[in-house]
A and B are shown apart, each in its own frame.
Chain A
Amino acid sequence: MSQATAPPRDAKAATPPAKPAAPAKPAPAPKAPPVVAAAAPTAPPIDLKALEQKLKDSNAIGVMTKLSLKNQVDDLVAQFRAFHEGHQPPTLAQLRQPYELLLMKVLALIQDHDPALAKALHDSRDYIWGVLADRNKFLANT
């Protein structure tokens, strides 16, 4: 058939004539073009308090691990508080390393058993750092 080799611009022409079309069925509505941008809306970052609550609620880690993590988070927050009160060292640059290390520890603990929380935490990495590093945000959030 010469129609089969026609360019596919014309949808009607591209329909194979050998198959008798079912007259009762209406033509399918044209599919909407895929919307790429709106497919995966990014979740808002979680703040420190929300993170603490989510870790408390998570079944991924045991009670003593949770307490130990809380101790380490409290220690780090105390270091940031001292920094914002003007006590140096540690400088902000020096605080980045223990922050990253603690985040890695938490991620390692939860990634297998609570991947959703691990992803949320990973996605909030810079946001949480922004809160800790900025004096006003820090005081408002802790």
Chain B
Amino acid sequence: MKTTALSILVACASLVAIAADDPKQRQDLTAVIALQGKPCGEVVSYVAKGDNDFVATCKDGNRYRVYVKDGRVVVEKA
């Protein structure tokens, strides 16, 4: 019973992550990736992994993890 409840909770959480599709956030991620000089075009979707931690999928197929570490924005290939 506990396992089922946990599974539902995890499924809901992942659904929330997938549903996170704020155009402003996409624009923000697009700008951040461009500022770091990485090829992207524009971010078409993203998944929020945590606070200030995202995996962004670009129009050109590239995927990047964008996160903040020690006050710096890091963009690395996912």
Contact = CB atoms under 8 A, between A and B. Distances in A.
Given A62-B24, A63-B28, A105 B35 contact: yes
B72 A62 contact: no
Contacts of B52: 64
Interface of B: 24-25, 27-29, 31-32, 35-36, 52, 66, 68, 71-73
The 9 closest A-B pairs by CB, nearest first: A62-B28, A68-B73, A65-B31, A64-B32, A68-B35, A68-B32, A64-B28, A71-B72, A67-B73
Contacts of B27: 62
B40 to A, nearest CB: 13
Contacts of B24: 62
Q: A-side binding surface: helix, strand, loop or mixed?
A: helix
B68 A67 contact: yes
Interface residues of A, number: 12
B43 to A, nearest CB: 11
B28 A61 contact: yes
Given A64-B52, A109-B35, 4 more contacts: A61-B28, A62-B27, A64-B32, A68-B73
Nearest to A63: B28
B72 to A, nearest CB: 5
Interface in A96-117: 105, 109
Nearest to A72: B35
Interface string A41-72: 00000000000000000000111110111011
Considering residues A61, A62, A69, which has the most beta carbons from chain B within 10 angstroms of its beta carbon? A62
